[in-house]
Amino acid sequence: MTSMVARIRARARELGFDAVAFARADVPLDADYERYRAFLARGAEGEMRYLAEAPEARRALDGEAILPGARTVVCVARRSARPHDEEAREPALVRDIARYARGRDYHVYLRRRVYLLGKFVRLAAPGHKARAVLDTAPLLERAWAARAGLGFVGKNGLVIVPGQGSFCLLGEVVTTLALDAADYGAPIGERCGSCTACLDACPTSAFDAPFVLDPRRCVSYRTIERRQVPTEEEPAHALFGCDACQDVCPYNRVASMPAPATEAFAPHERWRSLRLAELVRVDGAAHEKLTESSPLRRASPAVLAHNALGVAARRLARDPSDPEAREAIEAGCAHEDAALRATATRFAAELGVESSLSRRSPEEAAR
Mean pLDDT of 63-82: 95
Q: In the prediction, which pLDDT does 256 show?
A: 59
Q: In the prediction, which pLDDT does 358 show?
A: 42
Active site residue 200: no
Taking 90 as the threshold, does the pLDDT of residue 166 lie above it? Answer: yes
Per-residue confidence at 365, pLDDT binned at 50, 70, 90? Answer: very low
Mean pLDDT of 241-246: 97
Mean pLDDT of 145-159: 97
Reported as a single tens digit per residue, the pLDDT across 88-113 is: 899 999 999 999 999 999 988 899 99
* CA–centroid distance for 276 within its chain: 22
Contact 107, 306 (CB under 8 A): no
Per-residue confidence at 84, pLDDT binned at 50, 70, 90? Answer: confident
Per-residue confidence at 367, pLDDT binned at 50, 70, 90? Answer: very low
Catalytic residue among 135, 183, 214, 322: 135
Taking 70 as the threshold, does the pLDDT of residue 259 lie above it? Answer: no
DSSP 172-223: EEEES----GGGS--------TT--HHHHH-TT--EEETTEE-GGG-HHIII
Reported as a single tens digit per residue, the pLDDT across 262-319 is: 788 999 999 989 999 999 999 888 899 999 999 999 999 999 999 999 999 999 999 9
Q: State the DSSP code for 321.
A: T
Taking 80 as the threshold, does the pLDDT of residue 13 lie above it? Answer: yes
Q: State the DSSP code for 268.
A: P
Mean pLDDT of 43-51: 93
Q: In the prediction, which pLDDT does 254 show?
A: 77
Q: How many CB atoms lie within 10 A of CB 69?
A: 13
Q: In the prediction, which pLDDT does 342 show?
A: 93
Taking 70 as the threshold, does the pLDDT of residue 258 lie above it? Answer: no
Mean pLDDT of 164-188: 96
Give percent above pLDDT 90 in the chain.
82
Reported as a single tens digit per residue, the pLDDT across 195-219 is: 999 999 999 999 999 999 999 999 9
Q: In the prediction, which pLDDT does 135 show?
A: 86
| Interacting residues of 260 by C-beta distance below 8 A, sequence separation 6+ | none
Reported as a single tens digit per residue, the pLDDT across 346-364 is: 999 999 886 544 445 545 5
Mean pLDDT of 18-35: 96
Which contacts qualify for 334-339: CB closer than 8 Å, 24 or more apart?
334/360, 334/362, 334/365, 334/366, 335/280, 335/281, 335/305, 335/362, 336/362, 337/229, 337/302, 337/305, 339/229, 339/231, 339/302, 339/306
Mean pLDDT of 4-26: 96
CA-based nearest residue to 343, from 234, 227, 226:
234
Q: How far is residue 313's CA from residue 280's CA, in Å, rounded to a whole number? A: 12
